[in-house]
Amino acid sequence: MVALSSHRTAHEASKRFQFKARGMLGAWLILGTAAGFAHADAQTGFTLLPPPSELYGDLFVAVQTQGVYPDQKTFVDATPKIDPAQIVQAYHQQMGVPGFNLKDFVTQYFIPPADQSVTPPPNQTLREHIDWLWPELTRLTTTANVPQYSSLIPMPKSYVVPGGRFREGYYWDTYFTMLGLQEAGREDLVDNMLDNFAYLIDTIGHIPNGNRTYYVSRSQPPFFSYMVELAAQKEGGRVYQKYLPQLRREYDYWMQGANSVQPGGAVRNVVMLPDKTVLNRYWDERDTPRDESYLEDVNTAKLVTNRPASEVYRDLRAAAESGWDFSSRWFGDNMTLATIRTTSIIPVDLNSLMFHLETTIAIGCGEARNFGCVGEFVGRAAKRAIGINKYLWNHNGYYGDYDWQLGQPRNNPSAAMLYPLFANAAWPDRAHKTAETVQALLLKPGGLATTTYNTTQQWDAPNGWAPLHWIAVQSLRRYGRGDLAQQIGTLFLADVNNVYKTQQKLVEKYIVEGEGTGGGGGGEYPLQDGFGWTNGVTLKLLDLYAPGQ
């Protein structure tokens, strides 16, 4: 059965590239190859600085520990007025002087980030409001207008930010934002953001969590191949070849260490199981508290007595790479943040995305008439499909995560179970069983619950998230459950509409179950308005299920 599935998957991937490979263009590269993690780019003159925690040392620790700003992200987004080394020197000279006030010192030497709140015109329909928001959320932050010592990483072209406290572009958010931009006829912004990400891959070596220096040590769910596919749907197969160098380099980033990892071990994002199956996990290069959540991470580590703090920090950071920060998916006891073990878990969503990356590279190689490469990546995708269906199928009737250190599946059903369907890596019978589990466990009055656990974390019940609703809708339609897809999509649309009618805004996440639907909660920060990916998914769902609205 496994071998047959492998053959079917390889055949489907082969048909995809043969069908889409039309035309022949030379390989295209936006910028020259990066020299390393911290470097100056030869064409732009941009130098990637260390994160604020390293630039400011004990000043950073003092500011974050003493809570100078209510939100830990504020300080790391603030702009220093002079060279950071001079600020640190001034701090060391003044900190011991009687009457020294840390908040006054920070005010003297730093400019806090600007408020991003917006006031929309009255009486807009939901669709009108989303169209109005696009320019409000669009930024252009090139080397010409980013302050010299800012943590913001310049990008050459305009892009859309999520909104609220999220003042920069985010990796996986961008795909769902692009969906709406394309639906709104803004292919120019879709192309701009693709070019920006290609630039980041070429200059940094990967797409960071977001374009901030403190995000560079990790990535986020690898949706770049889906972005390329999205553009190709409008612009033709040449897009696959245009971005083939960056697709391959992103793949190399996620597969670092694959040639040296031993059975039963892991290197960076790569895990090799005892039978030599190779899959991926979330991982972060650093094992220190996150700059943007320093105090929260320190406090979490203090609750853990049986592990070194560095391990806890790495697992917290790895969960941030997952985009699900935080969720019962990563907790040893399914309930408590202090039991986090992200790096011990092989996630079903990540490996489904890697399968799509492999099949997309095969398409790009087909466009380039590099058929040896096509065969290689069709083979890699086929092997991954076998691994997904061997290790990431839970016999309770859904796709799920696997704890490679304990050698057992995670019994924690979540909306991530739909990713193998989204990537077309699911076996049909298992796809149908997964749909039944979604309907039985996750379908709620306001749409799709994120998990079955209510932990007070934002990526758990009772919250529902726009990107997961789009994954669900597309997945279920692909495998013949358009009825369930429509039910999920229309319920979530009603939830979004309800909040918009009462509060005139779209928000980051929504409550989908319990006594009443509305804006979601939980996690490290208050509910954020904006909101990039909600706007994109809502526009797609409106056109699918409520085209007259």
Q: Give the model confidence (pLDDT) of 244-278 as tens digits.
A: 999 999 999 999 999 999 999 999 999 999 999 99
Residue 294 to residue 280: CA distance in whole angstroms: 27
CA dist 469 and 287 (Å) reads: 32
Q: Is the pLDDT of residue 432 over 70?
A: yes
In the structure, what pLDDT confidence band is assigned to residue 41 with cuts at 50, 70 and 90?
low
Q: Which residues are annotated as a binding site?
A: 165, 172-173, 209, 218-220, 323, 524
| Residues classed as catalytic | 325, 508
Residue 388 CA to its chain's centroid (Å): 20
Residues of the chain with pLDDT > 70, as a percent, come to 91
Mean pLDDT of 372-391: 98
For every residue of 26-84, DSSP letters joined together read: ----SSPPP-SSS-B-TTT--B-PPPHHHHHTHHHHHHHHTTSSSSHHHHHHSEESS-H
Q: What pLDDT, on the 0 to 100 scale, is given for residue 518?
A: 87
* 31 vs 62, more confident: 62
Q: Cis omega (within 30 of 0) on the bond before 531?
A: yes
In the predicted structure, residue 4 carries a pLDDT above the cut 90 = no
pLDDT over 50 (residue 6) = no
> Span 345-362, mean pLDDT?
99
- For CA atoms 76, 81, 85, 89, give the dihedral sign: negative
| pLDDT tens-place string over residues 106-128 | 999 999 999 999 999 999 999 99
Give me the mean pLDDT over the 496-503 stretch. Answer: 95
Strand stretches in 85-129, DSSP E:
110-111
- Mean pLDDT, the chain, rounded, equals 92
Q: Are strands 159-160 and 265-267 parallel, antiparallel or unpaired?
A: unpaired
Task: Average the pLDDT over 435-446 and give the result.
Answer: 98
DSSP state of 10: H
pTM (2 d.p.) = 0.92
Residue 31 confidence (pLDDT) above 70:
no
- pLDDT value, residue 492: 97
Cite the annotated binding site for substrate by residue number: 165, 172-173, 209, 218-220, 323, 524
